[in-house]
């Protein structure tokens, strides 16, 4: 019965609609980017393009190099899992905290303010090792730019909602510690 209900189009549509509203999606927001919707859409487009299996591979790495890239890929997936688990109900794909969200600074968020973005970059670098081409490298750079700008927008909104976020920003690296473009602590 539950299986049939899950695949009932009306129920699934209603479930998706409820979740999108909970996350803060509106038609107006999609039109004018009021909650950073365009960052999310561009991130999804780049990720879909990045993992296109039909891009050419220019370099075939030796086994030991592929092992390193495999480790980065698996490490990124593991960190994404930890990030999602730690966020729980606070997860929103938009760079706008939900009304019901609480500030998370423990677990994986103790060492990095944006571990999900970091995970996407690790996964992308790992995948780049298997499909090495200028297209993948360009998409990785584009994804990084999108994630950095999305994170900065998210942080402006988090500082407004949570006064303690400013202190958290000072003591915790943004995405990658000590990399200027990925850690903008002052």
148-157 confidence digits (pLDDT tens)? 999 999 999 9
C-alpha dist (Å) from residue 146 to 100, 113, 115, 117, 181: 26, 16, 15, 10, 12
Instruction: Return d(Cα 112, Cα 173) in angstroms, integer.
Output: 5
Domain membership flag for residue 41: no
In a domain, 86, yes or no: yes
Give the count of domains, the chain. Answer: 1
Tell me whether residue 66 is in a domain: yes
Give the helix/strand (H/E) hosting 124.
helix 115-128
* pLDDT beyond 70 at 16: no
Percent of the chain whose pLDDT exceeds 70: 88
- Over pLDDT 90: what percentage of the chain? 51
Provide CB contacts within 8 A for 108, sequence distance 6+. 79, 82, 83, 86, 115
Instruction: Look up the domain containing 141 and give its range.
Output: 60-90+104-186
Across the range 86-115, mean pLDDT stands at 92
Strand, coil or helix: what is 59? coil
The whole-angstrom separation of Cα 6 and Cα 67 is 39
Give the span between the Cα atoms of 158 and 175, in whole angstroms: 16
Query: pTM here?
Result: 0.84
- The answer as to whether 1 is a domain residue is no
Is 140 within a domain? yes
Structure confidence by residue, pLDDT tens digits, 50-74: 878 787 877 778 888 889 999 999 9
Residue 131 lies in a domain: yes
Q: Evaluate if residue 173 carries a pLDDT over 70.
A: yes
Confidence of residue 176 (pLDDT cuts 50, 70, 90): very high
Maximum average pLDDT range among 22-31, 43-52, 109-118, 125-134? 109-118
For the record, the structure tokens of 69 come out as: 């890239």
Asked if residues 68 and 129 have their Cβ atoms less than 8 Å apart, the reply is yes
| Residue 32 banded pLDDT, cuts 50, 70, 90 | confident
Evaluate whether 24 touches 92 at the Cβ level (below 8 Å): yes
On whether residue 172 sits in a domain, the answer given is: yes
Encoding tokens for residue 8? 């009932």
Tell whether 95 is covered by a domain.
no
């Amino acid at each position: 019965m539950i299986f049939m209900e899950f695949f009932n189009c009306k129920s699934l549509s209603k479930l998706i609609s409820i979740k999108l509203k909970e996350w803060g999606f509106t038609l107006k927001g999609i039109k004018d980017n009021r909650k950073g919707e365009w960052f999310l859409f561009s991130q999804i487009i780049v990720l879909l393009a990045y993992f296109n299996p039909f891009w050419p591979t220019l370099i075939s790495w030796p086994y030991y190099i592929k092992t390193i890239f495999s480790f980065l890929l698996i490490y990124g997936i593991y960190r994404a899992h930890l990030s999602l688990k730690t966020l729980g109900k606070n997860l929103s794909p938009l760079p706008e905290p939900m009304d019901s969200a609480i500030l998370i600074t423990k677990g994986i968020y103790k060492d990095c303010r944006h571990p999900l973005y970091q995970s996407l970059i690790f996964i992308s670098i790992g995948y780049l090792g298997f499909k090495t081409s200028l297209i993948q490298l360009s998409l990785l750079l584009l994804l990084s730019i999108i994630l950095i700008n999305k994170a900065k927008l998210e942080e402006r909104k988090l500082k407004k909602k949570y006064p303690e976020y400013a202190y958290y920003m000072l003591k915790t690296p943004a995405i990658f510690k000590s990399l200027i473009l990925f850690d903008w602590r002052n």
